[in-house]
A = this chain, B = another copy of it.
Amino acid sequence: MDIELARELAVANDTKIVLFVMDGLGGLPHPDTGRTELESAYTPHMDIIARGAACGFTVPVGPGITPGSGPGHLALFGYDPLRFNIGRGVLEAAGIDFDLQAADVAARGNFCTIDKAGRITDRRAGRIATERCAELTAGLQSIALDGAGLFVEPVREHRFVLVLRPDGRASAGGGQLSADVADTDPQAEGAAPLPPRASAAGGEATAKLVARFVEQAQRYLADKSPANMLLLRGFAKRPDWPSMADVFKLRAAAIACYPMYRGLAKLVGMEALPVGPALADSIATLRENWARYDFFFVHYKYTDSAGEDGDFDRKVAKLEEADSSINALLELGPDVLMIAGDHSTPATMGAHSWHPVPFMLKSRWTRADECDMFGETALQRGSLGAFPAVEALPLALAHAGRLKKYGA
């Protein structure tokens, strides 16, 4: 269902929908046992749900497409990730909870190391400590540009965000900033950083501002080691997307402790609630805010981290940990509970992958599937099959009585 049709059909009521996302949920068989992480984990609570739920797999973006965290989540929020595309700069700014304004231009930054000839020897400056990153960004913050204000905010290790904000003066070309600035990051070591250039007509004035920033930054960084230069990429403006309240008639809250997911949730108008890092913290926050929202996105990061590290056993343990919280979640009595993932992160690959992601939806209005457990093999017998992740939210709305009939 596209956003326009959803806006036409969605109605408010007093039901509660919970979307529980285990990041990187899907896996691949362990070579010794033939069982995936989820099939190896002892997950009795999820297995019981599977016996009475609508089961299947979400396809995050499309067959064969490995999604990043942005597209993987936007799809589960009901936003087609091929249409609602988000620039890297905005994603990074969202990821540190930076309050990006509509006129701002944001870019992702890397501190890097260059040699005397100006060639990049390490694109990540040895992954400097986050504290060091914060010292350097504080230094860069004092750069003054004629034509725009600027913010240089540390992210993590060598990563930072640069935000340019129009200062109202005309010198940057009518005071407006453009995101049409090409990356300065050549994405290769041995090459020199690229000079900031417009990537399309209209980007020239902003590219000049960026060039002046880079010039001064390079002077400031020259005697710092190993981070003696910076690279910028993914210049982007904040997208002006319709909110979940507007489209789906949902008062939506995000319960996620990682800044990236909070930022993504805010881009679609969710309230990002303060929450601690443990799953118990998430459940407590959910309970405290139960009356105030209709839709809760609960994010569990550690399954993905384990998968990315190629640690099959830790991913299994994290899945078991998640399972042990399911009853506390059910006790709140959601009308619809979706158990989902934003993408697969098979430990055998140690990376995000394109494989469809285990999914189930529990409500009083589901048919009985022939799935006796929540695992990749059993779910192949599910009634939902492998379906586009962007359809999960409309399905939840339907099961919550929140979609009007289409046509007479």
Per-residue interface assignment for chain A, residues 365 to 408, with 1 indicating a CB less than 8 Å from any chain B CB and 0 otherwise: 10111100000110011111111000100111111000111111
Contact of A88 among B61, B395, B406, B408 (CB under 8 A): B408
Q: Could you say which residues of chain B place their CB within 8 Å of the CB of A354?
A: 395, 398, 403
Task: Type the 1/0 row for A52-71, where 1 means its CB is closer than 8 Å to any CB of B.
Answer: 00000100011111111111
A77–chain B nearest beta-carbon distance, Å: 14
Across-interface contacts of A355 in B (CB, < 8 A): 365, 367
| Residues of chain B with a CB closer than 8 A to A408's CB | 68-70, 86, 88, 91, 234
Q: Which residues of B contact A368 (CB under 8 A)?
A: 29, 34, 377
Identify which of residues 345-374 in chain A touch chain B, using a CB-to-CB cut-off of 8 Å: 346, 349, 352-356, 365, 367-370
Q: Does A28 contact B (CB under 8 A)?
A: yes
**Chain B residue at minimum C-beta to C-beta distance from A29:** B368
Q: Give A381 to B356 CA distance when docked, in angstroms.
A: 16
Taking a contact as CB atoms closer than 8 A, the residue among B28, B64, B384, B406 that contacts A367 in the complex is B28
Interface residue? A40 (CB, 8 A): no
Q: Interface residue tally of chain A, by bracket?
A: 35 or more
A251 to B348: give the CA distance in the assembly, Å.
29
A327 within 8 A of B: no
Q: Which B-chain residue is minimally distant from A234 (CB atoms)?
A: B408
Taking CB atoms, residues of chain B closer than 8 Å to A68 are: 405-408
With a CB–CB cut-off of 8 A, which chain B residues contact A397?
64
- Residue in B1, B85, B404, B407 whose beta carbon sits within 8 Å of that of A71 in the complex: B407
Q: Which residue of B lies closest to A81 (CB)?
A: B407
A31 shortest CB reach to chain B, Å: 9
> What residue of chain B has the Cβ atom nearest to residue A397's Cβ?
B64
Task: Specify which of B63, B369, B405 is in contact with A395 (CB 8 Å cutoff).
Answer: B63
